[in-house]
Amino acid sequence: MVHREKENIILDKTYNYAIRIVKLYQYLCKEKKEFELSRQILRSGTSIGANVEESVGGHSRKDFLAKLGVSYREARETRFWLKLLRDTNYISTEQCESLLEDLEEIIRIITAIQKTTKSNI
């Protein structure tokens, strides 16, 4: 796990998730010779953390919420690609479930942050 000077759970979780997605991408390309779906999941799965990181630097709460909204949508898209990869036998059910469990936790955290931020506006 990557440690930052000041702990931020969602930044850490999404960064570590992006690392897992990059490793999945490498596996899909090298072992399964799958390139189209793997590019899709690489893009959406790493974008979650990139947009969370960008939201932290937002100029306003509105900007913060907008970037978190993008992260949420990218997480949902990643969920789709994971299920598709599982159901087309590119990844095992076990691989999928492990990634989905972490993803669902990230989605719950993002949703909670959005609700808290909206209630404080």
Q: pTM (2 decimals)?
A: 0.91
Band of pLDDT at residue 44, cut at 50, 70 and 90: very high
- Cα distances from 104 to residues 6, 30, 72, 98, 109, in angstroms, run 24, 27, 11, 10, 9
What is the four-CA torsion angle of 87, 88, 92, 94, rounded to 10 degrees? Answer: -20
The predicted structure's pLDDT at residue 6 = 64
Residue 58's region, left for phi above 0, alpha for psi from -120 to 50, else beta, is: beta
Q: Which CATH architecture has domain 9-119?
A: Up-down Bundle (1.20)
| Calpha distance 119→121 (Å, rounded) | 6
Taking all residues of the chain, what is their mean pLDDT, rounded to a whole number? Answer: 94
